[in-house]
């Protein structure tokens, strides 16, 4: 299985989410190979839109979903909120699942993303 975390915009969390997805699979006992900055795209891939760096409760969270209202099948209801433990973990090359002390909310959100994608 190949999972691409992609966006045309920089700094939106591609590396952070890719890192967390890869490490979650590794923790689950599967082989995972993380390639950052891969640029190739091909047809026939399953595609999801996921909100990263979301606010707790805000219209900023509903606007992107509304913008995709013609493509509801694309929307993965697993928003990753802007959380310091996410940034801290990725800054050390780690998943939030590996960090100590554990941040339950970050782990819950990443687990929802993993389960939605895989
Ligand atoms: N859910 C989150 N909560 C808190 N901080 C986050 C979250 N997602 C990403 N960040 C932070 O946002 C910044 C950009 O994230 P990241 O490097 O993953 O983006 P990117 O899309 O890979 O960027 P680039 O286009 O430069 O490769 C980093 O400082 C990262 O720690
Ligand atoms: Mg990156």
For residue 87, how far is its CA from the centre of ligand 1 (angstroms)? 7
Query: Is 47 a member of any domain?
Result: yes
Q: Which domain holds residue 97?
A: 14-117
Mutate to test the pocket of ligand 1, among 18, 54, 90 (most ligand atoms within 8 A of CB): 90
pLDDT at 60: 76
pTM: 0.74
CB distance 90 to ligand 1 below 6 Å? yes
Query: Is 3 a member of any domain?
Result: no
Better-scored residue on pLDDT, 32 or 46: 32
| Residue position matching structure tokens 């939030």 | 96
Continuous segment of H or E residues that includes residue 52? strand 52-54
The atom of ligand 1 lying closest to the CA of 12 is 21
Query: Is 56 a member of any domain?
Result: yes
Alpha carbon of residue 101 to chain centroid: 21
Neighbours of 19 (CB within 10 A): 21
pLDDT digits (tens, 9 = 90+) for 61-113: 888 888 888 888 888 989 999 999 999 999 999 999 999 999 999 999 999 99
Please count the structural domains in the chain.
1
Query: Is 7 a member of any domain?
Result: no
Continuous segment of H or E residues that includes residue 65? helix 59-67
pLDDT at 103: 97
């Amino acid at each position: 299985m190949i999972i691409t975390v992609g966006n045309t915009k920089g700094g939106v969390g591609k590396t952070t989410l890719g890192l967390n997805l890869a490490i979650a699979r590794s923790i689950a006992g599967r082989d995972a190979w993380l390639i950052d900055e891969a640029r190739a795209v091909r047809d026939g891939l399953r595609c999801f839109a996921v909100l990263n760096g979301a606010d707790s409760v805000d219209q900023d969270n509903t606007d992107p979903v509304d913008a995709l209202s013609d493509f509801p099948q694309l929307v993965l209801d697993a928003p990753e909120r802007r959380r310091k433990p996410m940034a801290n973990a990725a800054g050390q090359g780690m998943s939030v699942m590996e960090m100590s002390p554990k941040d339950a909310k970050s782990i819950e959100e990443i687990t929802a993303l993993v389960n939605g994608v895989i």
